[in-house]
Chains A and B, each alone.
Chain A
Amino acid sequence: MRDIIYAVIVALSIVVTVQSAHTLYLTLYTWNRPPSEASAPEQFQPPRLSFTVMLPARHEEAVIATTVGRVAQANYPAGLMQILVICSADDEGTIAKAEEKITELRRQGVRNVSLVVFHDKPINKPHGLNAGLAKAVMDVVTIFDAEDDIHPEIFNVANTVMVNEQVRVVQGGVQLMNFDSSWYSALNVLEYFFWFKSRLHYHARRGATPLGGNTVFFARDLITRLGGWDETNLTEDADIGLRLSAAGEPIRIVYDDRYVTKEETPPTIRQFIKQRTRWSQGFMQTLKKGTWRELPTGRQRRLAVYTLAFPQAQALLGLYVPFSLLTILSLKAPVLVALVSFLPVLTLLGHFLISVVGLYEFADAHDLKVSPIAIPRLAFGWIPYQLLVSYASMRAVLRHMRGISNWEKTQHVGAHRELADARGLELGEEPSRVALFRQGAGESAAEG
């Protein structure tokens, strides 16, 4: 009996080690390739494409006005932009704030922002996007979340990439910024950092790309032809990415530290768990839906299944390390078995060290400072964070099994904006880059 247990431990350890090493490779995929593959173009094409910006929002009273303002004042011809704020009819608070902002913008001469209100169900993001898509009239459709801080040049980036490379889908970089807010925020920030900066490029190259939920640009006719977003799916973004991949549509990932869309980490653990549960459950839905079967090659299908099934595996992985430690200590396993069972710990250490370096890379890229407490916090928070993610995955499995699939919305408080404002004041700068543009635009208008 003991021999069987030892054999299982050894086999599991090897599998986990291999998987962990592969994840490590994907985490650093971009760094192992020429920098030009991932970065944004250095010179922009003249504006040629027009953009419909969809801003789905629900209970976003705290942030929607600022976001609308920033999108409206992006550095792109207003005549080539249509901005749609999308709300459900019962969300009176957000509607009121949005209308207030739209009125204010109209007083300033900005007339390309309008409100789309839907009255039917389901009340979720994909349904809102489909409602917005029906009102979209421009060449390219793009999505930003209500709390996003976009870069003023993002539309020039997308325009140049789509024109130069003749691609019809572009995923821009999204980056969580408030790495110092809580014990888990640095880890959350780094997840985004490595995902968008590195791993997503691997997926795009292989042709099985689960897209992000915002800063993604679609040719409107393409998305219309695909039938829009799946309103029953909690991760409509991953789903549409796989449907595009199955249709053979190349997807270009552009992650450039200069142009990332800035977001915030969930403000509380409860919110974090809700978000993760939704993502994990969404992946399970997408896996069950079977879109991955339409991917042309076996390699693509395997990659898709591996990615979509990972949350379920993650539910078990979080328990594996303490379980193996407990087993080894209580069973007094042979030394060789014990050594093999520690291999996942080594790869875990490798991940941690990569995270430490990644944190400094991230901070360097965004001119932020890593406090002395950040690394110990990262070290001590590492295991609890993995357990948190595992718990969310387990919660997702349970919800999925019980058929519960309501949209648990993540609260946004604009923590990343506080960070940006604080940093700006520290540097003696205007809190917003858009403000600088506005100032410049005002001066040009005065001269003209």
Chain B
Amino acid sequence: MSPYSDKERARALLKDEPQRAPRAREPGRTLQSDEPQRAPRAREPGRTLQRDAPQRAPRTREPERTPRAREPAREPAATVARAGVAPSLGGIRPLGRAGQAALAFALVTGLATHGYHLFEYPLYSTDEGIYVERAWSVIREGRLSPQTYFYDHAPAGWLVLALWEFVLPRHFETFGNPVNSGRVLMLLLHLASVYFLFQIARTFSGSLRAPLIATFFFNFSPLAIYYQREVLLDNMMVFWVLLSIYLVLRRERQLFAGLWSGVAFGMSVVTKENAIFFAPSIYYLLSRRVRWDSRRHFGQMFWLFGAGTAVSIYFLFATLKGELLPAHLSFDLSRPPRGHVSLLYEMWYQIHRNQGALFVRGSYLYTMWEPKDGLLLAAGTIAMAASLYLGWQERRQDPALLVAGTLALEIAFYLARGSVILDFYVLPLIPLYALNIGLIADRALGRIPAPTARVALPALSALWGALLLLPTTGYFVQHGFRGQPNHLADVYNLPLTNVQNEQIAWIRQHIPPNDKIITDEDIWVALHDVRPYYPYAQSHWNAASDPQIRDNLFHSSWQNIDYIVLSNQMKRAMTLNNGNGQENWILDALNNHSTTVWQVTRGNVTLAIYQVQK
């Protein structure tokens, strides 16, 4: 029985144990097209590992269980941009008292919802471990990755993370577990994103209702909180995209505003490549903003130049390393080239990869996203459609709705076409859906006549608040599991990462530092950055795919393993990643030659440590 088909089963048995599926390693080579669940990325048949062409086997991640007339909220008409000009074209206006209060509310609630319980929930994931590990490598080793960097992602994200870690007084250990310091950065970026989203929604709508509603969803949605706490490139990308849009809308129409917006957009692309989908909408917004400006050509040129600079530096980097083109100029996807990694080959591979259909049973939409916040997804989709329809009608006078709708459509289309490899790919959709919901709700509420609004609005707000308190929505209260009483939502309540810290503590107390350990990425930095160091602790992903680790350290033999440290669902991930048999020797050690020396189970989360008997 598929573990993804039963939502109840997928929820934690104990209220503090939401199950967490192992995460597939990006970019993810799919294992089998008929895998009922999220297949880990593995090498396609025929793509053998070469000693001198190191490759990484992708990791699968199982779905997680459990996440016209003056309106009272409208700012004074006197502050609206000059008569006849749509708010979105007039630029961001200074905040009045009411606006300042609304913004403060948005920021404080963002801080509270994302900051409270930040270090305890969710579990430290494999991908968080990967990016913290790469940031560690930048600082400690002066390299982009501890292993071969194969251009799975442009490195701007973990370079920023490395810069952040570097300025902290104790670097990675400033907040305890190394992943925690990354999460603090995510919190700060989220607060900045809240500010940008607020201003964008306010400028697009000309009122305070839209930004309040938009930031509400952005802050309170369980789906948002879950993923936005994690140290993920997508969160950093969202920050840069929102910044880029914000800079386009700034009221002071400075000549170089286009340049900085372009630079921010370029940074978003070299943080997470799928940001490129937002380019048409942002450029269109810029063009409309500067249409009647005599300097418009400079503004547009600067935007393109700024955006292109960051991207070109990435390509230049690959060129300087001799890794732009594949060996022998071979782009044959069925036969990966030997010799060296290649940026263009990796891009070619990514473009042709197509898996993770969204609208099929067992997809992330049904197993991960909708259980966490179906309300946001449904309302957001409807709002997006409404924005597109209304926006197209009024595009000549005011492009705001059209831009908001197309921004959401661009990423929704990307997800819907089958590009969903990992569940957190939903991240960029969240603020854009929130934006569209805010704008359409503002429109709808604005149509209520003033006398009626005086009664209707407070009533609607109260009803809305009551709805959100219901366990059905899961915003604040969740259903108990199998007859258990309802309880405060897991995002504020469930301490998950403690078990991982316990695991690390046990390792340090009982395992000699020079032992050879197979582990997962989530605790990699914790073992490599704190004395005593564990230099031979390597993730099963790298042990299986990186020739330097597989051949030089372990020699592909179970007898060279001393311990296997299992993260939650790691064994399943190893099995899913074993399409070509690259993890056979590790699974052999685990299944046939080891004994459990430590294990903790909390709900559906099980962590264990096995000692290999030789």
**Given that A32-B256, A350-B305, A353-B305 are known contacts, is A335 also in contact with B317, CB under 8 Å in the complex?**
yes
Assign chain A's interface to a size class.
10 to 19
User: For window 315-369 of chain A, which residues contact chain B by CB distance below 8 Å?
Assistant: 335, 338-339, 342, 346, 349-350, 353-354, 356-357, 360-361
Interface of B is mostly: helix
Contact A354 B298 (CB under 8 A): yes
Q: Using CB atoms, name the residue of chain A closest to B312.
A: A346
Q: Is B294 an interface residue (CB 8 A)?
A: yes
Distance of B402 from chain A, by nearest CB (Å): 27
How long is the Cα–Cα vector from A354 to B299 in the complex, in angstroms?
A: 10
User: For window 103-126 of chain A, which residues contact chain B by CB distance below 8 Å?
Assistant: none
Distance of B287 from chain A, by nearest CB (Å): 14
How many residue pairs at the A-B interface have CB separations less than 8 Å?
32
Distance of A254 from chain B, by nearest CB (Å): 18
Assign chain B's interface to a size class.
10 to 19
Q: Is A35 an interface residue (CB 8 A)?
A: yes
Q: Using CB atoms, name the residue of chain A closest to B296.
A: A357
How long is the Cα–Cα vector from A350 to B295 in the complex, in angstroms?
A: 16
Contact A32 B294 (CB under 8 A): no
Interface of A is mostly: helix
Q: Is A31 an interface residue (CB 8 A)?
A: yes
Contact A357 B320 (CB under 8 A): no
Contact B298 A346 (CB under 8 A): no
Per a CB cutoff under 8 Å, which of A32, A335, A349, A361 touches B254? A32
* Residues of A close to B297: CB separation below 8 A: 357, 360-361
User: For window 307-359 of chain B, which residues contact chain A by CB distance below 8 Å?
Assistant: 309, 312-313, 316-317, 320-321
Contact A28 B301 (CB under 8 A): no
B274-311: contact bitstring with A at CB < 8 Å (1 yes, 0 no)?
00000000000000000000110110010001000100
How long is the Cα–Cα vector from A126 to B321 in the complex, in angstroms?
A: 57
* Residues of A close to B320: CB separation below 8 A: 335, 338-339
Q: Is B163 an interface residue (CB 8 A)?
A: no
How long is the Cα–Cα vector from A350 to B263 in the complex, in angstroms?
A: 13
* Residues of A close to B321: CB separation below 8 A: 335
* Residues of A close to B305: CB separation below 8 A: 349-350, 353
Distance of B322 from chain A, by nearest CB (Å): 10
User: For window 6-36 of chain A, which residues contact chain B by CB distance below 8 Å?
Assistant: 28, 31-32, 35
* Residues of A close to B301: CB separation below 8 A: 353-354, 356-357
Distance of A290 from chain B, by nearest CB (Å): 36
Q: Is B255 an interface residue (CB 8 A)?
A: yes
Distance of B156 from chain A, by nearest CB (Å): 13
Residue with the highest number of chain A CB atoms closer than 10 Å, among B294, B297, B320:
B320
B444-487: contact bitstring with A at CB < 8 Å (1 yes, 0 no)?
00000000000000000000000000000000000000000000
Subset of 24 A-B contacts with CB under 8 Å: A28-B298, A31-B255, A31-B295, A31-B298, A32-B255, A32-B256, A35-B294, A335-B317, A335-B321, A338-B320, A339-B317, A339-B320, A342-B316, A346-B309, A346-B312, A349-B305, A350-B305, A353-B301, A354-B298, A356-B301, A357-B298, A357-B301, A360-B297, A361-B297
* A-B residue pairs, 4 tightest by C-beta: A32-B255, A357-B297, A338-B320, A335-B320
B interface with A by C-beta (< 8 Å): 254-256, 294-295, 297-298, 301, 305, 309, 312-313, 316-317, 320-321
A interface with B by C-beta (< 8 Å): 28, 31-32, 35, 335, 338-339, 342, 346, 349-350, 353-354, 356-357, 360-361
